[in-house]
Amino acid sequence: MNATLLMRRAAGILPLLIGALMAEATTVVPMPLTTLADHAGQVLLGEVAATRSYWADNPRRIETEVRFVGVEYLKGAWPDAPPEFTLIVPGGTVGTLTARVGCAPEFALGDRWLLFLLPEYRVFPTVGVGQGAFRIRTDPDGTPRVYTADGDAVAGFDDIGFPQTIRARGSPSAQTRGVGRRGVRVQPLRADAPPPALRLEEFRARLVPVLAASRDHALTGPAGRPVHVEWRARPLQAAPGATAPPGPLRGLEAAVEVPGPADQRRSEVTP
């Protein structure tokens, strides 16, 4: 394997490693409802009709195309906005490999969501990653109710506008997940007789004045668009005056000796 090919492979894998680290270290600032609304270019309500995960290039990464149907725009509708909406989100499963952003919602077929979408994004399309995504579940009696992306019931809002949530049985909190990776298990507290989750119509009634007073991003098309970032692989070069290392530098599949001033030839060593 020549040096150029080795550097290209390393450059192709580096973005995946960086993405994995970013997903593990996702940190967001808690946001009240007014802040979520101000940052959102559009707020929509819709049902997931299809998902498709695939490999995207430059940088090499897994993305998922999520198609929503029956879309209702609560904020940011543009003229002739269609009742279908396609969202591109980072992460997904291709073959045996799965990638995802920490704390981000996972969209499955048939799920119904109320989403606060950024005009464009670099990490995830919903405001505050999982904070701007509310899942709508229907009770056996047909009443749609509001839950967080983690599955906690939204019981209401405090005076500042932060959601008041109730831990759903079997749904670990962010704190529980965080310490769980370190081998510690936390049992979240639950009320003896917790109130039911907020009805969707009550949630919408609370949203109406907040969205009306929120920032208008004046969009003329779909929100939640990824910011284009182009990665270019460049071959490694030895610094002027550098001396050759005592042994080969071992990499992924081969090792390349960095040339010094007395030897400008690149050699390849098979591990």
Tokens, residue 182: 């370190």
Q: Is the peptide bond before 105 cis (omega within 30 degrees of 0)?
A: no
When the pLDDT of each residue in the chain is averaged and rounded to a whole number, the result is 78
- DSSP secondary structure string for all residues of 186-226: ------SSPPPPPBHHHHHHHHHHHHHTSPP---SS-S-EE
Which residue's entry shows tokens 């003896």?
A: 192
Give yes or no for a contact between 269 and 252, defined as CB atoms under 8 angstroms apart.
Answer: no
Helix (H, G, I), strand (E, B) or coil at 15: helix
CA angle 256, 259, 260 (to 5 degrees): 145
Beta-bridge mates of residue 94: 97
Integer Cα distance of 181 and 168 in angstroms: 20
Condensed to tens digits (0 to 9), the pLDDT of residues 208-242 reads 999 999 999 999 999 999 987 666 667 777 777 76
What percent of the chain shows pLDDT beyond 90? 57
Which mean pLDDT values do the consecutive 10-residue runs of the chain (271 residues) have? 45 43 58 96 98 91 96 94 95 93 93 97 94 96 95 93 79 40 40 79 96 96 86 72 61 45 43 43
How many Cβ atoms sit within 10 Å of the Cβ of residue 238?
Answer: 16
Q: Is the peptide bond before 245 cis (omega within 30 degrees of 0)?
A: no
What is the DSSP code (8-state) at residue 61?
A: E
Condensed to tens digits (0 to 9), the pLDDT of residues 18-30 reads 444 444 445 678 8
What's the pLDDT score for residue 231?
65
Integer Cα distance of 117 and 270 in angstroms: 49
What's the pLDDT score for residue 103?
87
